[in-house]
């Protein structure tokens, strides 16, 4: 692999209790300042996206990457993917600073970890950027090539759809969507696909997005009712599906909710862990985000299996999100604690006893395609 920036690249460990490895990556020649965080590789090599974002300072970037990497550990454990939890952040403006040299220097750091961390796209980092990174290191997944797993949003939407069905089953003892009112906050890549699936299953849709053009397009396709970004949280519905940004469930918003369940794809929906208790005490069923939104991870990670990517296996595995959530609802009910706590407890148990530990190494099929 190319070692173009070898002399000026530095990797320094940052020690944080509870995290396996955190590395500050610097290459001043190309303006690279990144952090690679491996929360846990007990179950398998750490897999997670690269977020490129103009954080105000390193402290904020570190906080974000740690939170994201830990969530990946639990997402993988609960979806039985057999990967560890990792994430990387590059402190840069994706519109201004995302040059080939920057990505190549970052790739060199990934390569030095020899597969401990496998990277993928995330906010600010496209599959095309990952393709540039793959010229320097094989430890990538989700490339745009002929055996690729394609658009993760479709699989994330399908997993979220199955999660909504599981919530309805728990509430009504029927997963049937016919006539159910589902409110979707954010109709972007995932939310839009989800809305179409719900429409064909017979649901009544209520939607909201900052982008009115998207709302009108979806309204024409599905007859959805459009609400403002404030109203959507207060609307009476069976399920509220947060599909936009994180932190949407907090002490200000939870008292406003008039839904029976919250089940959506957004990452880090709870501002604080205690917000899950508040939802539970109000009798609102919460489908933990890192389980319901694992479809994209499940889909892309199949590229690394010996057999290579297969959409049918991906669909079948994503289908299991329904059962995985039913187990969580039952654990929560039996123990009289929140579904979020139930999910974390099950994750901790699997981690402790290394349940689902990866036996086969990952296969980087793309390395033989180029």
Token pair 């600073």 is at which residue?
A: 97
- Interface with ligand NAI, residue 215, by CB under 6 A: no
Q: Which of 5, 72, 243, 280 binds ligand NAI (CB under 6 A)?
A: 243
Backbone CA torsion sign across 109, 52, 83, 141: negative
In the numeric block, which tokens belong to residue 161? 């759809």
What distance in Å separates the CA atoms of residue 97 and residue 286, rounded to the nearest whole number?
A: 39
- Interface with ligand NAI, residue 166, by CB under 6 A: no
Nearest approach in angstroms of CB 35 to ligand NAI is 19
Q: Which of 31, 94, 188, 247 binds ligand NAI (CB under 6 A)?
A: 188
State the burial class of residue 66 (Cβ atoms within 10 Å of its Cβ: 0-12, 13-18, 19+).
Answer: buried
What distance in Å separates the CA atoms of residue 200 and residue 191, rounded to the nearest whole number?
A: 14
Q: Which of 64, 209, 238, 275 binds ligand NAI (CB under 6 A)?
A: 209
Q: Are 85 and 347 in contact (CB under 8 A)?
A: no
Q: Which stretch binds ligand NAI (CB under 6 A): 29-37, 242-250, 277-285, 337-345?
A: 242-250
Annotated active-site residue in 21, 75, 87, 170: 87
Contacts with ligand NAI, 82-121, as mask; x by CB under 6 A = ----------------------------------------
Longest CA span, the chain: 63
Q: Which of 131, 153, 262, 318 binds ligand NAI (CB under 6 A)?
A: 153
Concerning whether 87 is annotated as a catalytic residue, the answer is: yes
Q: Which stretch binds ligand NAI (CB under 6 A): 81-89, 112-120, 151-159, 173-181?
A: 151-159
Long-range residue pairs from 23-28, CB within 8 A, at least 24 positions apart, any chain: 23/109, 23/113, 24/58, 25/106, 25/109, 27/105
- Interface with ligand NAI, residue 27, by CB under 6 A: no
Nearest approach in angstroms of CB 339 to ligand NAI is 18
What distance in Å separates the CA atoms of residue 263 and residue 293, rounded to the nearest whole number?
A: 9
Nearest approach in angstroms of CB 29 to ligand NAI is 32
Secondary structure in 3-state letters for 198-247: HHHCCCEEEEECCCHHHHHHHHHHHCCEECCCCHHHHCEEEEEEECCCCC
Residue ranges in 259-298 that form contacts with ligand NAI under rule CB under 6 A: 265-267, 293, 296
Q: Which of 48, 86, 163, 191 binds ligand NAI (CB under 6 A)?
A: 191
The residues carrying an active-site annotation are: 87
Q: Using CB under 6 A, list all residues that contact ligand NAI.
A: 152-153, 156, 185-191, 208-211, 214, 229, 243-246, 265-267, 293, 296
């Amino acid at each position: 692999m190319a070692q173009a920036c070898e002399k000026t690249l530095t990797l320094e460990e940052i020690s944080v209790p509870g995290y396996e490895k955190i590395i500050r990556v610097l290459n001043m020649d190309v303006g690279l300042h990144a952090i690679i965080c491996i929360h846990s590789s007990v179950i398998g090599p750490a897999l997670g996206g690269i977020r490129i974002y103009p954080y105000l300072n390193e402290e904020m970037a570190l906080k974000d990457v740690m939170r994201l990497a830990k969530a990946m550990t639990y997402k993988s454990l609960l979806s039985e993917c057999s990967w560890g939890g990792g994430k990387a952040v590059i402190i840069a403006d994706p519109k201004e600073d995302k040059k080939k040299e920057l990505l190549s220097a970052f790739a060199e750091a990934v390569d030095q970890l020899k597969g401990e961390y496998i990277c993928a796209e995330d906010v600010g980092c496209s599959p095309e950027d990952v393709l540039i990174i793959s010229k320097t290191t094989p430890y990538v997944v989700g490339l745009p090539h002929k055996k690729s797993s394609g658009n993760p949003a479709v699989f994330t939407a399908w997993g979220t759809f199955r999660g909504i069905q599981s919530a309805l089953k728990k509430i009504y003892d029927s997963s049937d969507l016919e006539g159910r009112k589902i409110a979707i906050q954010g109709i972007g890549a995932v939310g839009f696909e989800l809305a179409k699936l719900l429409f064909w299953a017979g649901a009544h849709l209520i939607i909201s997005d900052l982008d009115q053009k998207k709302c009108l397009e979806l309204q024409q396709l599905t007859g959805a009712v459009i609400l403002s970004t404030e109203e959507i949280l207060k609307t009476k519905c069976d399920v509220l599906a947060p599909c936009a940004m994180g932190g949407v469930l907090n002490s200000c918003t939870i008292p406003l909710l008039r839904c029976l369940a919250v089940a959506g794809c957004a990452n880090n929906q709870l501002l604080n862990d205690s917000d899950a208790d508040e939802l539970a005490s109000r009798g609102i069923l919460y489908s933990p985000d890192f389980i319901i939104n694992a479809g994209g991870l499940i889909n892309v990670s199949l590229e690394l299996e010996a057999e290579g990517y297969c959409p049918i296996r991906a669909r079948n595995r994503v289908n299991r999100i329904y059962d995985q959530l039913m187990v969580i609802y039952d654990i929560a009910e039996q123990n009289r604690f929140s579904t979020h706590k139930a999910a974390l407890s099950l994750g901790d148990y699997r981690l402790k006893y290394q349940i689902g530990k990866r036996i086969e190494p990952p296969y980087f099929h793309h390395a033989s395609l180029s």
